[in-house]
Amino acid sequence: MMKTLSIWLLLVALAPNLFAQKFETGFLDRAVVVNGVEYRYQVYIPRGFTKKQTWPVIVALHGGGEYGSDGMRQTNVGLAPAIRRNPERFPVIVIFPQAKADGKPGWQTDGGEAAMAAIDKTIKEFKGDPKRVVLTGLSAGGNGTWSLASRHPERFAAIVPVCGFVSSFKGRASAIDYPALAQGDDPYTEIAKKVSLLPILIFHGAKDDVVLPDESRKMFAALKKLSANVDYIELPDANHNAWDPAYSSPETIAWMLKQKRP
């Protein structure tokens, strides 16, 4: 009897460790299917992850040089290298979708729908907080940030477009024709109207000769006219690569992490 009782007490003492659930962390492979097509993406899960709490979520859209189907190339540029350099700054789930190299304008079409599906799946799988989803993207991903936010403003707590564009554009890396995100002579005002209730932080290099800084300047001006909560940081020494200084800044990441929808 005493032996049985001792074993029972030992099991009770060890129960928290025996039944504690451990989660794989780091960059994980995932996929969603949209319109019968598989889209691979990566999810970054921070060290110390647990489902005892909900987690903020960042969605990072790649540029025109990372289109593909491998599900990994999009983590070579932008936010993922910043995470690898300073993981302690990122107590957050980060989703890295990948749009197909199919000649379509990236996030404006099926790639964007796949990104939204990846958000839904990730929130469910890893207990992400749907009120704390921040959208960011660089170059063509900056265009995607304006595009997805204007179509689904209720889904995001804030957006951070980096060297993005709103008007029609011909991709250098991809040779893709991107139509303007809104019809008419002033697409900036039309897009601004759709995202003006979101906190917005815009980055652009002053020396950018790929996507001219006027794209971000005009969006900033249109948003200011609507009294939007927007800041614009023009990096005086940066060319098209505005993403490394933007994402390497601890202030940028801290700003993203504090955003939350009412």
Worst-scoring range by mean pLDDT, 14-28, 76-90, 121-135, 240-254? Answer: 14-28
Residue 123: which domain range? 21-257
Asked whether residue 9 is domain-assigned, the answer is no
On average, the pLDDT of the chain sits at 92
pLDDT band at 1 (very low <50, low <70, confident <90, very high): very low
CATH number at residue 199: 3.40.50.1820
Asked whether residue 8 is domain-assigned, the answer is no
pLDDT band at 21 (very low <50, low <70, confident <90, very high): low
Asked whether residue 95 is domain-assigned, the answer is yes
Asked whether residue 6 is domain-assigned, the answer is no
Tell me how many domains the chain contains: 1
pLDDT at 15: 45
Q: Is pLDDT above 90 for 254?
A: yes
Asked whether residue 262 is domain-assigned, the answer is no
DSSP 122-133: HHHHHTEEEEEE
The four Cα atoms 213, 150, 29, 82 give a dihedral, to 10 degrees, of 30
Residue 12's contacts (CB-CB under 8 Å, 6 or more residues apart) are none
Asked whether residue 11 is domain-assigned, the answer is no
pLDDT band at 22 (very low <50, low <70, confident <90, very high): confident
Asked whether residue 70 is domain-assigned, the answer is yes
Worst-scoring range by mean pLDDT, 14-28, 53-67, 215-229, 247-261? Answer: 14-28
pLDDT tens digits along 116-156 = 999 999 999 999 999 999 999 999 999 999 999 999 999 99
Is-contact 137 145, C-beta < 8 A? yes
Q: Round to whole Å and give the CA distance between 161 and 139.
A: 8
pLDDT at 97: 98
pLDDT at 19: 44
CA distances to 62, 81, 107, 192, 219 from 244, in Å: 13, 9, 21, 26, 21
Asked whether residue 178 is domain-assigned, the answer is yes
Q: pLDDT over 70 for what percent of the chain?
A: 92
pLDDT at 10: 44
